[in-house]
Structure 1
Amino acid sequence: MATIGDVARRAGVSQSTVSYALSGKRPISEETRRRIERAIDELGYRPHAGARALATARTDVIGLMAPLRTGVDVHVIMQFVAGVVTGASRSGYDVLLLTQDEGVLDRVTSSSMVDALVVMDVENDDKRLPALERSRQPAVLIGLPADPHGLSCVDLDFARAGAVAARRLIDAGHRAIALVGSPVEVVSRHTSYAERMTRGFVGACEAAGVTYLVVPTAASAAGAAASVDRVLGMMPEVTALVVHNEVALPHVISRFREAGRGVPEQVSVVAVCPEDVAVSMPVPVTSVDIPAEAIGRIAVEMLTGLMADPARGEVRLVSPRLTERGSVREVSAPSGGTVTGDPAAATP
C-alpha cells in the first residue's frame, strides 16, 4: 500500500507539501498540485481515514441512532435507514448505525466518531434531547417531540395522517370506525408518531360526531386477532378501520374475514403504512403512505445544511398523501352520530 512518503518522492516534494495539498490548510502552486495528484493516481494512494480525521477535524461519517426497541417494525426502520444511507452516500458520507440506546449517545457526542447525528424513534419527552442540544455535532431528529429543544426535526405529519385516514372513511359514510394502532410498548413509551396519529384520528372522529374506538395492537398474528376480537366485542356495529400497524395489517384483514366480514364488502380499511406494505396485501389497501426512504434522505439533506450553517435549524413535516386502492366501500350515511369511544384506549 502506497504511503504519503511514496507520493512525496514520486512528486518530488516534501511530505508536508502533500499533506497541505490533501487538507487544503496552506496554498500550493497549481503545478505542484498537479504533480501530487498525478502521483496519487499512479500509486493508487488512499489517505488513512484516522489521519485524515485528525488533520481536518472531520470523519465524513454520520451517526444514525436507530434503537431496536420492543414493538418497532424492523422492516419499516430499515426503509428509513436506506434513505439515510442513500442521502449520505450522495453527499460523500458513510453511516455508522447505532442500534443500542444505553450510554451510546454520550460516548458518540463526547468523541470524534461522527460529524453529525440522525436520531430515530423519538419520544414526546425524549431523554436524549438535552444531550443532543449540548453536543458539538449537529443533529436531526426523525420524529417530532413535544419540545424539540431547538433541534431540527423531520417526519410525516402523523396528526394530519390520522385525520386524513379517518375523514376518508367518514366521507364514505361510515359512522363506526376503529383505529387498530401501534403496539402497547410503543404507546407506553409515548413515542411521538403514535401519539400524533391517535390525536389526529380522534380529532377527526369527534369533529364529525361518529363512534370511534382506539385499540393498541401487538405486532403479531395473535395480537391482531386479539384486537379484532376486542373491536367486535366493544363495537359490533363497526364498518371501517384505520390500521396503523404494518405487521398486524394482514392478520387484521384475515381475522375479519374469518368473522364473516370481508374487505371491502363488510369492512372498509385505510392503512397508514409504507406503500410496499399496502400493495402487498391480498386485497390492496387504500393507504396514507409513509415515505420512509424519502424522509431519511430529507434528514441527511437537513443535516448537511446544518453542518454548513448551524443556524439553519427547522421543523419539517411531510404532508400525508392518501392513495386509493379499492379497500373503502361507499355507504349511505345516517344523519348525526354518537361518540362513544374507549377513553382509556384513545389516550395513550
Structure 2
Amino acid sequence: MAAHAGVSASTVSYVMSGKRSISQTTTDRVMRAVVELGYHPRASARALASNRTNVIALMVPLRSDMYVPVIMEIVMAAATTAREHGQDILLLTGGEGPDGVRRIAASGIADAIILMDVELDDQRIPVLREAAMPAVLIGLPSDTAGLTCVDLDFQATGAACVDHLADLGHRDIALIGESKSVYRRHTGFAARTLDGFQRQAHERRLRAVHRPCEGTFEATAGVLTRILDERPTTSGFVVQNEAAIRPTLDLLRQFGRVVPEDVSVVAICPDQLALQLSPQLTSVSIPAEEMGRSAVDLVMAQLSDRPSGGTTTLIPPMLNVRDSSAAVR
C-alpha cells in the first residue's frame, strides 16, 4: 500500500486513522491506492491500533412481562445506527444484573454499554458508576446524576392522556396498567406513567383508578369487570399494557359499551398496533427507533470525547387523536 502510493507506512496510517493532518495531495494519493488495491483494514488491526474493540454492549434482560416487539424495534435501531458508526452490537439478554455490567467492564470486550429495562433503583447503576466506562441508559432511574439517559417522557405521557380525556368531558377514568411484576420491580417507564396519570387526574379533579393487568384475556376481563363494578360511571380508559389493548376493546363490546360513543379508550403503544385495531386507537406512540438511535449517538459522542455525559434527553409525548375517543354524550 505505502509503496503503491509512494509514501511511508506511517503516512498511510495517519491518513487512515485521521490522527494527524496530512496534505490533501498526499491524502488523495493514498486514497487512490486504497481504491486501486481494494484495501480493507482488518477490524482487529484497527482495534489494536486504537485500543478500541468497536463493540457496544446492549443489555436488555428479556422478561415474560415485557412487550418484545417494542424491545426489538429499539434493538434494531441501535444495531443499524451502530453499523453507521462502524460499530458492532453485543446483545446481552440474560438477567445478569450488576454482575453482567461488572463482567463487561472488566473484560474489555466492549468500549461502551447501553442499559435497557431501567428500574428506579437499578442495582446495575452503582457498578456502572464505579466502572466509569462510557454508558447510556434507555430509561430513567430515580437518581440521574452523572448519567446519560434517553427516554420517552412517560410522566408527561400519563398526564397527556388524562388531559385528553378531561378535555372531552370525562370525569371518571381508569388506567389499565402493566403486570404487577413490572410495578414490583419499580420499572421506570411504568412508575413514571402512573405518577403522571395520578398527578394530572388530581390536578384536573377527576376520579381516577389504576389497576395492574397481566394482559391475558381472562386477566383483562377480571380487571375491567372490577373497575366497572366499583365505578360504573367510568367512561375513559387509558391502557398501557399492549397485550391488554385488544382484550379491552373486545370486552367493552361484550359489556355493551360502544367505543367511542359510550366510552373512550386511549393507548400508550406503537402506532402500528394502534392503527390495526377497530376502531383505530387514539394513542401516544412509543418512539422506539428514536430511542435506539439516540442511545448509540450519545455513546459515540462519549467515545469521541464530545460532551454528552450527565445529560437526560426526554422525548415529548405525541398524542395522536383517532377514532377511539370522543366527547362524553
Q: State the TM-score, normalizing by the size of structure 2.
A: 0.89
In the other structure, the counterpart of 1:327 is 324
Q: SS at 1:248's partner residue? A: helix
Q: SS at 1:230's partner residue? A: helix
- 1:53 Cα offset (Å): 0.9
1:41–1:112 Cα change, 3 Å? farther
1:107 to 91, 103, 115: 103
1:8–1:197 Cα change, 3 Å? same
- 1:9 Cα offset (Å): 6.3
1:303–1:286 Cα change, 3 Å? same
CA contact (8 A) 1:306 1:312 kept: yes
In the alignment, structure 1 segments of 5+ residues that lack a partner are 1-6, 333-348
- 1:101 Cα offset (Å): 3.0
CA contact (8 A) 2:65 2:181 kept: yes
Report the residue type matching 1:83 in the other structure: A
CA contact (8 A) 1:130 1:149 kept: no
CA distance in 2, matches of 1:44, 1:329: 63
- 1:28 Cα offset (Å): 7.1
Report the residue type matching 1:55 in the other structure: A
In the other structure, the counterpart of 2:169 is 173
- 1:135 Cα offset (Å): 2.5
1:200 to 190, 196, 199: 196
CA contact (8 A) 1:129 1:149 kept: no
Report the residue type matching 2:321 in the other structure: E
CA contact (8 A) 1:133 1:149 kept: no
In the other structure, the counterpart of 1:94 is 88
1:62 correspondence with 2:82? no
In the alignment, structure 2 segments of 5+ residues that lack a partner are none
Report the residue type matching 2:177 in the other structure: G
In the other structure, the counterpart of 1:3 is none
2:254 to 258, 263, 266: 258
1:297–1:28 Cα change, 3 Å? closer
1:1-348 matches, cutoff 5 A: 7=1, 18-19=12-13, 21-23=15-17, 36-102=30-96, 103-307=99-303, 308-310=305-307, 312-331=309-328
Report the residue type matching 2:204 in the other structure: A
Sequence identity of aligned pairs in percent?
45
- 1:283 Cα offset (Å): 0.8
CA distance in 1, matches of 2:265, 2:19: 60
CA distance in 1, matches of 2:148, 2:10: 40
RMSD: 2.4
Report the residue type matching 1:141 in the other structure: L
CA distance in 2, matches of 1:311, 1:20: 27
1:210–1:17 Cα change, 3 Å? closer
- 1:33 Cα offset (Å): 5.5
Report the residue type matching 1:226 in the other structure: G
- 1:222 Cα offset (Å): 3.0
Equivalent pairs, count: 326
- Deviation sequence 1:45-99 (CA, Å, 0-9, x none): 3222222211101222222212112311000111222332333233333322221
- 1:25 Cα offset (Å): 5.7
CA contact (8 A) 2:177 2:213 kept: yes
- Of 30-39 and 62-71, deviating more is 30-39
1:151–1:24 Cα change, 3 Å? same
CA contact (8 A) 2:259 2:265 kept: yes
In the other structure, the counterpart of 1:342 is none
